Amino acid sequence: MEQIHHISLIFIAIFLIQAYFHFRYFLPFIFNRKEPSQKHHSKEAVSVIICAHNELENLKQNLPLFINQEYESFEVIVVNDRSNDGSKNWLKDQSQKHSHLKVLHIEKTPDNFNSKKYALTKGIDSAEHDIILLSDADCHPATVHWVDRMSQSFTNSISIVLGASLYKKRKSFLNQFIRFETIHTALLYLSFAYKKEAYMGVGRNLAYRKSLFLASKGFKDLSPIMGGDDDLWVNRHSTHENTEICIHPESLTFSNPKENWGSFFRQKKRHLSVGKYYKIRDKVKLGVFHFTQTSLWILFILGIMLGSPTDCLILCFLILMYIAGQYVVFYKLSINFGIRFMHYNLLILEILFILYYWIWGIYASLTKHLKWK
């Protein structure tokens, strides 16, 4: 019986750690977050940069939504990276129609230079304006006010702005899981950044100053690493003073989700593989969160199987409090994003996410050979 009692005590300790993350990060972020006022918005000029490798169909669908943003002064730079699908001719035609569209063509990536980082570097070098706003060819802005909303967060002291990028809704369980995983990731990195502890951003909706990029020597310290042009770059150069977030519904970008589990896992392998390069404090903090989230469910199952009636009652009460908290957080965050998220199977999605995170995360961290596209 003493052993069972210890399981309950450990469960309570784990529960309190999870409660700390909710009260320290999640709840203040979703309930207190206010967007910058437009009254004093300086309307700095913006350079939007999109890298594309054989993305002709996505460009045809999404590029008009970038070009037609309602903003006083901005340019769109498309870096056509070694494409052989007709992108070059189509982009040439589009650049003749739109004076604020600039197209760069890359025929070959230099040796020992990651192709995505090289394309981004060329795009940033050619940018006429200090504010660099990044997205991908398979993304599109939620509204014509995307540039305006993202640029509002810049001030004299702010050099990095983290946005959110979500996936479109489809009728499949895979789509529900992808959307859950994306919102879960956004909850973590945006709530931590809200408390001035930013550790990553997503390249589908990320902005920073060209002057900061050049002063920090671009991707030089990340050149040996595949990926990391967004999350690791933010992890290296974000500070308590220079980073802001923007989550207004008009500031979102959306992407088409993967259609099968294999494509999804290949995509996430690239993303998860760079976590081992985060700063130690960020790895510890994220490790504690994910470890306690996992341990909570393991200890709950063990406690129910082995515990006394009193232990079971305590465990059930606390796990119900945890589930209720999760529902509140995801429901309110969905409202803040201006989207509708199916919450009836939130519990199933979380348990699947835990399994996916540990199994695929460990596999990705051990994988050495990765490529962009």
pLDDT value at residue 269? 72
Query: By mean pLDDT, which of 141-150, 187-196, 349-358 is the weakest?
Result: 349-358
Q: Is the pLDDT at 255 greater than 50, yes or no? A: yes
pLDDT value at residue 130? 97
Tell me the average pLDDT of the chain. 90
pLDDT value at residue 222? 82
224 or 7, which is more confident?
7
* Ranges of each domain in the chain: 2-30+281-366, 36-274
Residue 115 pLDDT grade (very low, low, confident, very high; cuts 50, 70, 90) = confident
Residue 362 pLDDT grade (very low, low, confident, very high; cuts 50, 70, 90) = confident
Q: Is the pLDDT at 371 greater than 80, yes or no? A: no
Q: Is the pLDDT at 237 greater than 90, yes or no? A: yes
141 or 37, which is more confident?
141
Does residue 186 contact residue 206 with C-beta atoms inside 8 Å? no
Residue 254 pLDDT grade (very low, low, confident, very high; cuts 50, 70, 90) = very high
pLDDT value at residue 132? 98
26 or 360, which is more confident?
26
Residue 4 pLDDT grade (very low, low, confident, very high; cuts 50, 70, 90) = low
245 or 274, which is more confident?
245
pLDDT value at residue 3? 52
306 or 165, which is more confident?
165
Choose among 52, 81, 77, 53: nearest CA to 66.
77
Residue 1 pLDDT grade (very low, low, confident, very high; cuts 50, 70, 90) = very low
pLDDT value at residue 36? 61
Residue 110 pLDDT grade (very low, low, confident, very high; cuts 50, 70, 90) = confident
Q: Is the pLDDT at 119 greater than 70, yes or no? A: yes
Q: What is the pLDDT of residues 25-76, one digit of tens each?
A: 999 999 987 666 555 566 899 999 999 999 999 999 999 999 999 999 999 9
Q: What is the pLDDT of residues 316-330, one digit of tens each?
A: 999 999 999 999 999
Mean pLDDT of 74-94: 95
pTM here is: 0.91
Q: Is the pLDDT at 266 greater than 90, yes or no? A: no
3-state secondary structure the chain: CHHHHHHHHHHHHHHHHHHHHHHHHHHHHHHHCCCCCCCCCCCCCEEEEEEECCCHHHHHHHHHHHHCCCCCCEEEEEEEECCCCCHHHHHHHHHHHCCCEEEEEECCCCCCCCHHHHHHHHHHHHCCCCEEEEEECCEEECCCCHHHHHHHCCCCCCCEEECCEEECCCCCHHHHHHHHHHHHHHHHHHHHHHCCCCCCCCCCCEEEEHHHHHHCCCCHHHCCCCCCCCHHHHHHHCCCCCEEECCCHHHCEEECCCCCHHHHHHHHHHHHCCHHHCCHHHHHHHHHHHHHHHHHHHHHHHHHHHCCHHHHHHHHHHHHHHHHHHHHHHHHHHHHHCCCCCCCCHHHHHHHHHHHHHHHHHHHHHCCCCCCC
Q: Which CATH architecture has domain 36-274?
A: Alpha-Beta Complex (3.90)
Mean pLDDT of 180-190: 95
Mean pLDDT of 171-183: 92
In the chain, the percentage of residues whose pLDDT exceeds 90 is 73
Mean pLDDT of 147-170: 94
